[in-house]
């Protein structure tokens, strides 16, 4: 070993003519400014050193470079920018090889594309996932990937942003070889292969690429149909389309398009969503040791219970499913079996594993006593406080000491449920979202007495189920449903005052929601909301404006999709149509209330809906039900189909500013001062000029 030199974030050593450049910027070796500076310097040093005849770049630690440092996005770019570093690598007069392991993604993979050969360790994943963060491959990826694999394939991997395993990457021609060993050893070995002429090297940028207008037209059409509202995938296609000319021109165009993406609000929203997914794990109980969970009990085999049981089985847990009688149990078991069959169909599970799960890991019984040995029990029975407290009292007598007792309630008071036991410290809310084996979110509802390690167990369970846990406090509806219960009323008011469901739904899907609120109600079942409204009727303040339209629809026996009729009519095999009877009911109710319908523009619909959502979110935050604004964003992104490119309701709120929001609420309050009240937190933010993002920091 000679000439050892250390540089920030990059280690350089020279071994028998090979310059070894190790990127060392934990945790994921992102190509931060320090990395770029030191990498460029290292390449130049190696090029200038006569004793060097091969250069190898690899990652120290768990991965090759996992991408650009996305925390730098939105700040002024600092030289050297990654495209320049990559151009220097490609132009290098000596062979440069990239040794990939872990995840070589985005800007990281672009470094590899600029190298003269790419070797991956088994298990490596490569890819250009930039569009998932609202940008495009901006360090040569749109120009070099098509030169290696052709325009059609390059468009596919860039617009999908998916990760590609080493074998597939080899087959495609994205990499040149798979080799086993430690990255540094492989680097030395492959440098020798280059010297011996056994591993060919070439400059990707010098390869010819054939025009493929059909592929470009194809993908453009597909994106217009499916992702019209997204910005960066379309720009990525434009950049790839420029790859048939001289490299320098294509790169310049790519850079210009990349900068457009960087400036777009969608980039900020998508990166916020990326960080939200990770920020939620930062909880006060993070230091507590989770209790080990091998066997779980699920009480209730309805849609929720069977979905939870499915998620647990898929994650490798043993599950005991309990129902009150044989008939319900058979239904619950059949529902789990159906979910698992679906998982096989979607390629998430193979047939042998499915059979093994059913034979060995799922036990179904009507005997609650069978839960005596369970490490964690989740109850998903009827949403009624008395039913739940009674059940918890029984569980208290059955469950082993130290078992976690969880309720999947979506609204009820977890403290009162916990108080039905002699061990409230072991009780926690685990609020899954339906269908529980598909939806990513779990609200971990922390009661007054919940022990820290029980909270940590909820988070550990969520991780094992590959779900996203968000810490919530106790209140009616926790974070998500409390906010929903509030803003959902805003669309009923809009409907009463002049908008129609078939105008409101597309206005909100146009904003980016996966579904409109009326279509969602039809899907969930209108009877559910009806039951809740009846339950809450006695507690409804006299000043609250009440819209009886949904009740009238329910009185007709129309509960949405499951009855074939609701706000929409669902013809067998056909497309849903607006239910004409609903228009009649709306007219009648307006007439009764003496309301002259007025016109609402789509923008106003969105503004009122979002303002109502943000207002209640601010109250949830102020009440300490959510820890930080970013937790609320995560709840909506992962549990309520909130458009990811908008980052979440409070990220979106910051794009409007507290002043504007307060002004809106005051304006709307002229019509309904009970519903539209300025939350004190928002008023303070407007006065002080602060943003929700400020509360995420620290």
Q: How far is the CB of 127 from ligand 3H9 (least distance, A)?
A: 8
Catalytic residue among 130, 323, 379, 616: 130
Q: Please say whether the beta carbons of 69 and 30 come within 8 A.
A: yes
For 396, 419, 471, the CA distances from 447, given in Å and listed in that order, are 17, 10, 11
Q: Contact 621/632 with Cβ under 8 angstroms?
A: yes
Quick one: 57 or 66, whose CB is closer to ligand 3H9?
A: 66
Closest CA to 472 of 524, 425, 411: 411
> How far is CA 164 from each of CA 205, 229, 343, 433, rounded to the nearest angstrom?
22, 26, 21, 30
- Respond yes or no: is residue 110 known to be catalytic: yes
With respect to ligand 3H9, which residue has the nearer C-beta, 82 or 223?
A: 82
Q: Are 503 and 600 in contact (CB under 8 A)?
A: yes
Q: Which is nearer to ligand 3H9, 174 or 614 (CB)?
A: 174
Taking the complex as a whole, the smallest distance from the CB of residue 161 to ligand 3H9 amounts, in Å, to: 8
- Interface characters, 91-130, with ligand 3H9 (x: CB under 6 A): ------------x-xxx--x------------------xx
Number of residues that bind ligand 3H9 (CB under 6 A): 25
Instruction: Quickly count: other Cβ atoms within 10 Å of residue 51's Cβ.
Output: 12
Active site residue 130: yes
Euclidean distance between CA atoms 251 and 239, whole angstroms: 8
Instruction: List the 318-322 sheet strands across, edge first.
Output: 362-365, 318-322, 295-299, 376-379, 404-407, 427-432, 441-445, 468-472
Q: Please provide residue 200's backbone torsions phi and psi, each rounded to the nearest 5 degrees.
A: -75, 150
Closest CB 639 distance from ligand 3H9, rounded Å:
20
Site residues for ligand 3H9, 11-50, by CB under 6 A, read 27-28, 30
What is the b/e burial string over 293-309, where b = at least 16 CB atoms within 10 angstroms of the residue's CB?
A: bebbbbbbbbebbbbbb
Looking at the Cβ atoms of 275 and 530, the one nearer to ligand 3H9 is 275
Distance CA 515, CA 520 (A): 6
269 binds ligand 3H9 (CB under 6 A): no
- Least separation in angstroms between CB 627 and ligand 3H9: 15
Per-residue interface string for the shown chain with ligand 3H9, residues 46-85, x marking contact by CB under 6 A: --------------------xxxxxx----------x---
Of the listed 90, 110, 193, 238, which one is catalytic? Answer: 110
Closest distance to ligand 3H9 from the beta carbon of 69 (Å): 4
Contact set for ligand 3H9, span 133-162 (CB under 6 A): 133, 135, 137-139, 141
Q: What separation, in Å, do the N-terminal and C-terminal C-alpha atoms of the chain show?
A: 44
Crossing angle of the two packed helices 247-263 and 82-91, in degrees rounded to 10: 160
Of the candidate residues 278, 540, 584, 687, the single one contacting ligand 3H9 (CB under 6 A)? 278
Nearest to 507 by CA among 604, 578, 612, 575: 604
Compute φ and ψ for 4, nearest 5 degrees: -80, 130
**x/- binding map, residues 156-195, to ligand 3H9, per CB under 6 A?**
----------------------------------------
Radius of gyration of the chain (CA): 29
When the beta carbons of 97 and 135 are compared against ligand 3H9, the nearer one is 135
Beta strands in 527-650 (DSSP E): 568-569, 577-578
At CA 33, angle to CA 30 and CA 36, rounded to 5? 75
Closer to ligand 3H9 at the Cβ: 191 or 239?
Answer: 239
Contacts of 345 (CB under 8 A, 6+ apart): none
Q: How far is the CB of 103 from ligand 3H9 (least distance, A)?
A: 4
My answer on whether omega of the bond before 273 falls inside 30° of 0, hence cis, is no
Please enumerate, as own/partner, the contacts of 250-254 that have beta carbons within 8 Å and a separation of 24 or more: 250/142, 250/143, 251/83, 251/87, 251/140, 251/143, 254/83, 254/136, 254/137, 254/138, 254/140, 254/141, 254/142, 254/143
Classify 100 as helix, strand or coil.
Answer: strand
* Inter-residue contact 589 to 549 (CB < 8 Å): yes
Nearer to ligand 3H9, 28 or 343 (CB): 28
Nearer to ligand 3H9, 468 or 615 (CB): 468
Q: Which two tokens stand for residue 546?
A: 């009440």
Cβ contact 444:458 at 8 Å: yes
Catalytic residues: 110, 130
- Residues of this chain that interact with ligand 3H9 (CB under 6 A) are 27-28, 30, 66-71, 82, 103, 105-107, 110, 129-130, 133, 135, 137-139, 141, 275, 278
């Amino acid at each position: 070993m000679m000439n050892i030199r250390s540089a920030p974030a990059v280690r350089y050593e020279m071994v028998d003519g090979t310059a070894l450049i190790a990127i060392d910027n934990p945790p994921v070796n992102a190509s931060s400014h320090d990395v770029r500076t030191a990498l460029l310097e290292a390449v130049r040093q190696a090029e200038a050193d006569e004793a060097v005849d091969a250069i190898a770049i690899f990652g120290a630690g768990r991965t090759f470079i996992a991408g650009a440092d996305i925390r730098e996005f939105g700040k002024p770019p600092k030289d050297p920018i990654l495209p320049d570093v990559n151009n220097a690598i490609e132009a290098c007069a000596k062979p440069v090889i990239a040794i990939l392991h872990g995840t070589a993604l985005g800007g990281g993979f672009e470094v590899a594309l600029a190298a003269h050969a790419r070797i991956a360790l088994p298990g490596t994943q490569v890819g250009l996932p930039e569009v998932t963060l609202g940008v495009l491959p901006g360090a040569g990826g749109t120009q070099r990937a098509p030169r290696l694999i052709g325009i059609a394939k390059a468009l596919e991997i860039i617009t999908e942003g998916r990760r590609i395993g080493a074998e597939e990457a080899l087959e495609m021609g994205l990499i040149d070889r798979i080799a086993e060993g430690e990255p540094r050893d492989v680097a030395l070995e492959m440098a020798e292969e280059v010297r011996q002429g056994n591993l060919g090297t070439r400059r990707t940028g010098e390869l010819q690429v054939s025009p493929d207008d059909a592929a470009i037209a194809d993908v453009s059409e597909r994106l217009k149909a499916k992702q019209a509202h997204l910005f960066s995938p379309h720009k990525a296609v434009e950049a790839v389309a420029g790859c048939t000319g001289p490299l320098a021109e294509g790169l310049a165009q790519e850079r210009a398009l990349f900068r457009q993406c960087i400036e777009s609000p969608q980039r900020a929203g998508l990166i916020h969503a990326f960080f939200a997914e990770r920020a939620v794990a930062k909880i006060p109980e993070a230091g507590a040791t989770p209790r080990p969970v091998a066997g779980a009990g699920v009480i209730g085999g309805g849609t929720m219970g069977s979905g939870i049981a499915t998620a647990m089985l898929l994650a490798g847990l043993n599950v005991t499913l309990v129902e009150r009688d044989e008939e319900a149990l058979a239904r619950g078991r059949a529902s789990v079996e159906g979910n698992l069959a679906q998982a096989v169909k979607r390629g998430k599970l193979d047939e042998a594993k499915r059979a093994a799960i059913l034979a060995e890991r799922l036990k179904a019984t009507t005997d609650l006593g069978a839960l005596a040995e369970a490490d964690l029990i989740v109850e998903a029975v009827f949403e009624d406080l008395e039913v739940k407290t009674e059940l918890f009292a029984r569980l208290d007598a059955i469950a082993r000491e130290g078992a976690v007792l969880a309720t999947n309630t979506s609204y009820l008071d977890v403290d009162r449920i916990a108080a039905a036991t002699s061990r409230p410290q072991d009780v926690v809310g685990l609020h899954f979202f339906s269908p529980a084996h598909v939806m990513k979110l779990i609200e971990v509802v922390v009661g007054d007495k919940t022990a820290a390690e029980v909270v940590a167990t909820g988070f550990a369970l969520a991780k094992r189920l590959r779900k996203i846990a968000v810490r919530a406090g106790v209140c009616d509806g926790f974070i998500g449903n409390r906010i929903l219960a509030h803003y959902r009323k805003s669309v009923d008011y809009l409907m009463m005052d002049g908008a129609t469901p078939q105008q409101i739904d597309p206005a909100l899907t146009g904003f980016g929601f996966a579904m409109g609120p009326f279509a969602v109600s039809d899907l969930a079942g209108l009877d559910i909301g009806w039951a809740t409204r009846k339950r809450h009727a006695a507690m409804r303040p006299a000043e609250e404006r009440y819209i009886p339209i949904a009740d009238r629809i329910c009185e007709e026996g129309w509960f949405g999709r499951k009855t074939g009729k609701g706000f929409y009519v669902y013809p067998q095999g056909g497309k849903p149509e607006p239910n004409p009877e609903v228009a009649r009911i709306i007219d009648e109710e307006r007439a009764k209330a003496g309301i002259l319908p007025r016109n609402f523009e789509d923008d106003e619909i969105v503004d009122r809906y979002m303002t109502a959502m943000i207002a209640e979110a601010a109250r949830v935050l102020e009440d300490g039900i959510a820890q930080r604004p970013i937790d609320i964003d995560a709840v909506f992104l992962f549990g309520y189909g909130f458009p990811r490119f908008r980052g979440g309701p409070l990220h979106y709120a910051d794009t409007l500013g507290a002043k504007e929001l307060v002004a809106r609420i005051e304006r709307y309050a002229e019509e309904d001062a009970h519903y539209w009240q300025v939350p004190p937190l928002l008023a303070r933010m407007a006065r002080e000029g602060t943003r929700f993002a400020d509360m995420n920091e620290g």
